Structure 1
Amino acid sequence: MSASCRRPACPGRYSPDGYCDECGHKAPTGVTELPPTSAATGGSARTRGSASGRSGRSGRGRLGAGLVEIARVPPRDPATAVMADPVVAEPRRFCLSCDKPVGRGRDGRPGRTEGFCPHCGTAFSFLPRLGAGDLVHDRYEVLGALAYGGLGWIYLARDRHVSDAVSDRWVVLKGLINTADPDAAAAAVTERRYLVEIDHPNIVKIHDFVQHPDPKTGDPVGYIVMEYVGGESLRDRLVARREETGAAGLPLAEVIAYGVEILPALDYLHDRDLLFCDFKPDNVIQAEEQLKLIDLGAVRHLSDEESAIYGTPGYQAPEIAAAGPSVASDLYTVGRSLAVLALGARGFTSTYATRLPTPEEAPLLAEHDAFYRVLRRATHPRAERRFGGAAEFSEQLLGVLREVLAVADGTPRPSTSLRFTPERRTFGTAAGDVAAAENGGRDAAGIPDPREVAAALPAPLVDVLDPGAGFLASLGTGAPDEVVRALTAAPVDSPEVGFRLVRAHLDAGHPRRARAELDARAAADPLDWRVDWHRGLAALADRDPAAARTSFEAVYHALPGERAARLALAAACECAGDAEAAAGHYARVWATDRGFLSAAFGLARLRLADGDRAGALAVLDQVPESSAHYLTAQVAATRAGIAGAADDGGPVDDLLGAARRLERLALDTERQARLAAELLERALDWLGGDGAGPHARERILGNELTERGVRFGLERTYRMLAQHARTREERYALVDRANAVRPRTLV
């Protein structure tokens, strides 16, 4: 049973990593022992296994990704960071060989800091080997101990070869807690071999590897010399935030920005076949406006199948013991760390040790579904279901960050997708098409045809590394059947050629052939999100929106930062009859990127159907004047206002607002007249038989807002439309309507 937290009024208990699961503070010296799953000093447990994984590619960003401001952490005076009393807390003392508790007190007496493990006989020592004034390698002057980690004590020192009267070069020396431990010694040798070559702005710089005789035995002890990073760990920032504001986690935008900033550092390691293995908030320092990965003691080669594996309960991937570390397991630790930073650490080593909180348990995840999906993919129990690399993880996180910020302050954060083209065309615009209404088109509340949606959605970008990319670049346009023949005769068979053939079959009206081609692609790579994307298109083309929704859900789960994936899901939900889910997805897409006009029309359509006319008008008015669909949106907004007076006695403000909007539109004469006729017909219905009514002083399209005035205006409009009639029958009908609506006069 773990010990209760010693902080006043805190109901938490100390978890295996040595921190309270409620307030997040470290366990002090003298508390009863922690669960035996934690490892010596630092909570990093060791296992053995093989390593496998793939690397990704990415360039580094800057803290905040240029989108959000994060308060800088001022540099800390190195001298103030030295521990006054360097002691390893008893709850964190474990044997490096058998992981059993050692050095524990009993009967009121403190535990021994040096001795032999009573379980396996291995010698242990938790005392610093170096003290203030010691000179290591005739170069590094020790000021004192800074902290202790999973593999050794950490000391602050001054580099005498660089320091001068003007400034000092501060460095950190990291040594082993117990050189008798073969795993620890092997880890030190590994660090000496390749860590000095690591050079990335977000990874602590290793300067040197030196030796210094043990003060007791005289045996040489190895020390890693690295740069001093005088900042604050993300774990410390989390605890400070909780104490200052009572919030469980850090602001979500800040957490995501941390992930976007630090993932390129892991990508850098992965590209060099190195794994970090023990990523957690404690091992990331913010100094000034930059993040640094510290404590590289657990770093290992992908091909290393022998050395000890270090990790921390609550962060380590579930397959580590059986399969060993991999790129996927590194990404798992990042996903868990982001969840802890956003939601707080409570329960992540107990209740949520093997799963994430649900949206019902954590409202933040319900509010930001895209962030929840990022976490779910990063921490999927099956390694092959996680992100393919740190670059892909960072790319999707950045897309989610844009959404979170846009929703928070109402300012769009558009970006160019690396996965999809823009919309091929805008769907669901019937409400803004004047001719459509006259010819029986769908009105503002009508659901778009699924086939229209399939033809309009963005298309996946061609992978330039695909063997068929060159052929596709030379493929011309033509009738769908001609494109099918050209693709069938392609000189190379590749995934991109196959997916292009699927779309060609759909364009030609052959969804069954498209599905057959998709089955072949799915057999080759069942985890390729493009398979689900094209299955969704095929389902829409076959007017099966429920199946399309299932497929696009899978795409959105794989790419939660992509607006195209969410737009497709929104359309499928709307076509399937789930207006609430569709409106939520449309709203997020439109809030983030005003380039997705289909989302604006979809959101306005659903709000209007739900009776939220003001909300619908607000969305349509957000379509920029520079857009090719600006007039279409304004026509739809005019129609929404006209429909506002659907019932007798309805709000006259809707009619007058629609009239003012129509007067401002730069439409041709015929379309202006058709809309005017719609508006005046509604006004006449609204007036009913009340004669002048209470609004006789108002004017609508230049006419008095009375039955007589509106009838005269409607007569003129019908006669104008008769001049643009395309057939004799249509012209006669309009003239008859003009005569019928004309008010009675004496002449």
Structure 2
Amino acid sequence: MVAVHLPAESGPAEFEYAGLRGNPVAREPLPGAHVSEFTSPRGEFGIGMAVAELDGMIDGKPHEPSLDVRRIIATLPAPRVCGEDPGCALLANLPHTQPRSTLELLRRIGIRSRAGTSRFEVEASLQAIRALLELGHEEMAEGMLDALRSSCVGDWRIAWFTGVAALVRGDHRRAYRQFDIVRVMLPDEPTPNLAMAVTAELLLLAAATRAEAADWRHAAIGHYRVTWRSNHEMISAAFGLARILTADGDVRAAVAVLDELPAGSPHRDTAGLTGCLLHIGGPVTELTETDLRIAAGRLANLSGARRYLPTRLILLWTTLVWLESGGRLRNPESSIFGTPNTETGLRRGIESGLRELARTTPDPDHRIRLVDLANQVRPRTWF
């Protein structure tokens, strides 16, 4: 464990330390294998933001794409238990994804909302703090953290959980500073960079000025990129980097990042569908036939994906709007998914897809809306 005194928090000068205002936002972890101070990722956050509307097309319910802080905290890798006390082995086996169960087990072995000074008590208290923060009880967790500070000087986990507590409270600037302290103390670890990246993204979303937004965008891209390059298990970093690159107008780079997901990842379909939507997500007047063809080609390889049908509908609809807005095809006789690239052909394809989607939706009211929409979009006939 690295023993250093945690720097006091102050004003704007800290943001130079935090990687803004001209200083590098992130450093590559040092080469060489090491035993991580954190657990493996306990899940992912933010991976479905670009495809949230697809779920709404399926079930008829609103799906607001947003970064959920509770989800972020629950899925970030957690600090490992330290110490040679035999009881610490028990703590290491506590359920990292079930905070209520963790607190109940700690209660049974005598750890409550206070902090002891023995190694076992310190480790147990840190586990209780983690669980409390994941349940949103930041005031109780911060009280336990304050009780530990004098006996845990130099323990990076105090800074880590202080950052998590700040994240829960919505004090993102303080969270960023605390995670940066951990990054400096543990330069080989990707997790502090991931925490800084998503915190910078939250600050970017709340930025009041263009200059501030540019700083936080630069920070988020840097930390997401370092995290993803150093550990391809950090799937949240890939999707986060793709989000920021897309918002920055670099769709090609965003799609390239998503294409780097390991072949065996359960999120490959989501990445593929996201890439498809990104290719056709700009203003329709700026789309080209190449954009539509690339999106169609990507989608053709995802026919088994759960969100395939609504994605196909969006692609057909976008192609129809593009044609009606003056788009011209090099080969009008060609088709997308067997649907002729004519207004009539595309309308028939959309109508068929809407009726198919209506048969699969669990919501009767949404089914009626989809059928009504299919009737509206179908080609006009004399009969």
Paired residue secondary structure (1:576): helix
Please give the TM-score of this superposition, normalised by the length of structure 2.
Answer: 0.81
For 1:693 and 1:418, the matched residues in 2 are separated by: 54
How far residue 465 of structure 1 moved from its aligned partner, in angstroms, is 1.6
Q: Tell me, yes or no, if the aligned pair for 1:693 and 1:706 is still in contact at 8 Å.
A: no
User: Which residue does the alignment assign to 1:517?
Assistant: 144
Listed as ranges, the gaps of 5+ residues in structure 1 are 1-53, 57-326, 329-357, 360-364, 372-398, 403-414
User: Which residue does the alignment assign to 2:30?
Assistant: 400
Q: Which has the higher contact order (CA 8 A, sep 6+)?
A: 2
Structure-2 change in CA distance of 1:464 and 1:666 (3 Å) = farther
For 1:575 and 1:490, the matched residues in 2 are separated by: 38
Structure-2 change in CA distance of 1:536 and 1:642 (3 Å) = same
Map 1:539-554 to 2 at 5 A: 539-554=166-181
Paired residue secondary structure (1:440): coil
Matched, 1:625 2:260: no
Identity of aligned residues (%): 34
How far residue 637 of structure 1 moved from its aligned partner, in angstroms, is 0.9
Q: Tell me, yes or no, if the aligned pair for 1:660 and 1:701 is still in contact at 8 Å.
A: no
Which residue among 62, 82, 88 is the counterpart of 1:440? 62
Paired residue secondary structure (1:422): coil
Matched, 1:486 2:105: yes
User: Which residue does the alignment assign to 2:245?
Assistant: 607
* Amino acid in structure 2 at the alignment position of 1:453: I
User: Which residue does the alignment assign to 2:354?
Assistant: 718
For 2:230 and 2:160, the matched residues in 1 are separated by: 22
How far residue 481 of structure 1 moved from its aligned partner, in angstroms, is 4.0
Paired residue secondary structure (2:307): helix
User: More strand per residue: 1 or 2?
Assistant: 1
How far residue 435 of structure 1 moved from its aligned partner, in angstroms, is 4.8
What are the superposed Cα offsets for residues 647-685 of structure 1, whole Å, 9 maximum, x if unpaired? 3242222222111111111425x6221111121222222
User: Which residue does the alignment assign to 2:307?
Assistant: 671
* Amino acid in structure 1 at the alignment position of 2:290: D
Which residue among 14, 22, 27 is the counterpart of 1:370? 27
Which residue among 271, 287, 291 is the counterpart of 1:654? 291
For 1:460 and 1:635, the matched residues in 2 are separated by: 33
Map 1:679-694 to 2 at 5 A: 679-688=315-324, 690=326
Q: Tell me, yes or no, if the aligned pair for 2:258 and 2:275 is still in contact at 8 Å.
A: yes
User: Which residue does the alignment assign to 1:139?
Assistant: none
Q: Tell me, yes or no, if the aligned pair for 1:573 and 1:579 is still in contact at 8 Å.
A: yes
* Amino acid in structure 1 at the alignment position of 2:62: G
Q: Which has the larger radius of gyration?
A: 1
For 2:280 and 2:359, the matched residues in 1 are separated by: 24
Structure-2 change in CA distance of 1:462 and 1:477 (3 Å) = closer
User: Which residue does the alignment assign to 2:345?
Assistant: 709
For 1:651 and 1:474, the matched residues in 2 are separated by: 54
How far residue 436 of structure 1 moved from its aligned partner, in angstroms, is 4.2
Structure-2 change in CA distance of 1:695 and 1:442 (3 Å) = farther
Q: Tell me, yes or no, if the aligned pair for 1:433 and 1:635 is still in contact at 8 Å.
A: no
Structure-2 change in CA distance of 1:454 and 1:368 (3 Å) = closer
For 2:325 and 2:251, the matched residues in 1 are separated by: 26
Matched, 1:733 2:363: no
What are the superposed Cα offsets for residues 143-193 of structure 1, whole Å, 9 maximum, x if unpaired? xxxxxxxxxxxxxxxxxxxxxxxxxxxxxxxxxxxxxxxxxxxxxxxxxxx
Structure-2 change in CA distance of 1:590 and 1:480 (3 Å) = closer
Structure-2 change in CA distance of 1:606 and 1:689 (3 Å) = closer
Q: Tell me, yes or no, if the aligned pair for 1:434 and 1:635 is still in contact at 8 Å.
A: no
User: Which residue does the alignment assign to 2:39?
Assistant: 421
User: Which residue does the alignment assign to 1:69?
Assistant: none
What are the superposed Cα offsets for residues 412-442 of structure 1, whole Å, 9 maximum, x if unpaired? xxx5642111111111112245654544334
Structure-2 change in CA distance of 1:476 and 1:599 (3 Å) = closer
Q: Tell me, yes or no, if the aligned pair for 1:432 and 1:634 is still in contact at 8 Å.
A: no
Which residue among 199, 203, 220 is the counterpart of 1:576? 203
User: Which residue does the alignment assign to 1:219?
Assistant: none
For 2:186 and 2:91, the matched residues in 1 are separated by: 24
User: Which residue does the alignment assign to 2:211?
Assistant: none
Structure-2 change in CA distance of 1:368 and 1:452 (3 Å) = closer
* Amino acid in structure 1 at the alignment position of 2:91: L
For 1:556 and 1:540, the matched residues in 2 are separated by: 16
Map 1:297-316 to 2 at 5 A: none
How far residue 701 of structure 1 moved from its aligned partner, in angstroms, is 2.2
What are the superposed Cα offsets for residues 387-417 of structure 1, whole Å, 9 maximum, x if unpaired? xxxxxxxxxxxx4236xxxxxxxxxxxx564
Map 1:242-261 to 2 at 5 A: none
Structure-2 change in CA distance of 1:705 and 1:723 (3 Å) = same
For 2:97 and 2:325, the matched residues in 1 are separated by: 59
* Amino acid in structure 2 at the alignment position of 1:426: E
For 2:307 and 2:155, the matched residues in 1 are separated by: 47
Which residue among 435, 441, 449 is the counterpart of 2:68? 449
How far residue 483 of structure 1 moved from its aligned partner, in angstroms, is 3.0
Structure-2 change in CA distance of 1:691 and 1:527 (3 Å) = closer
User: More helix per residue: 1 or 2?
Assistant: 2
Structure-2 change in CA distance of 1:575 and 1:417 (3 Å) = farther
Paired residue secondary structure (2:346): helix
* Amino acid in structure 2 at the alignment position of 1:400: L
* Amino acid in structure 2 at the alignment position of 1:586: Y
Q: Tell me, yes or no, if the aligned pair for 1:434 and 1:675 is still in contact at 8 Å.
A: no
Structure-2 change in CA distance of 1:600 and 1:488 (3 Å) = same
* Amino acid in structure 2 at the alignment position of 1:681: W
Structure-2 change in CA distance of 1:511 and 1:369 (3 Å) = closer
For 2:101 and 2:261, the matched residues in 1 are separated by: 37
Structure-2 change in CA distance of 1:473 and 1:611 (3 Å) = closer
User: Which residue does the alignment assign to 2:156?
Assistant: 529
For 2:96 and 2:200, the matched residues in 1 are separated by: 32
Q: Tell me, yes or no, if the aligned pair for 1:638 and 1:662 is still in contact at 8 Å.
A: yes
Paired residue secondary structure (1:370): coil
Map 1:335-414 to 2 at 5 A: 369-370=26-27, 399-401=29-31
Paired residue secondary structure (1:427): coil
* Amino acid in structure 2 at the alignment position of 1:510: H
Q: Tell me, yes or no, if the aligned pair for 1:659 and 1:679 is still in contact at 8 Å.
A: yes
For 1:516 and 1:620, the matched residues in 2 are separated by: 41
What are the superposed Cα offsets for residues 566-587 of structure 1, whole Å, 9 maximum, x if unpaired? 1111111111111220111111
Map 1:6-21 to 2 at 5 A: none
Map 1:261-276 to 2 at 5 A: none
How many corresponding residue pairs?
A: 345
For 2:279 and 2:338, the matched residues in 1 are separated by: 18
Q: What is the Cα-based RMSD across aligned positions, in Å?
A: 2.9
For 1:481 and 1:593, the matched residues in 2 are separated by: 30
Paired residue secondary structure (1:401): coil
For 2:40 and 2:377, the matched residues in 1 are separated by: 48
Structure-2 change in CA distance of 1:606 and 1:502 (3 Å) = same
Which residue among 597, 603, 622 is the counterpart of 2:235? 597
User: Which residue does the alignment assign to 1:138?
Assistant: none
What are the superposed Cα offsets for residues 49-78 of structure 1, whole Å, 9 maximum, x if unpaired? xxxxx9x9xxxxxxxxxxxxxxxxxxxxxx
User: Which residue does the alignment assign to 1:121?
Assistant: none
Please give the TM-score of this superposition, normalised by the length of structure 1.
Answer: 0.43
* Amino acid in structure 2 at the alignment position of 1:460: P
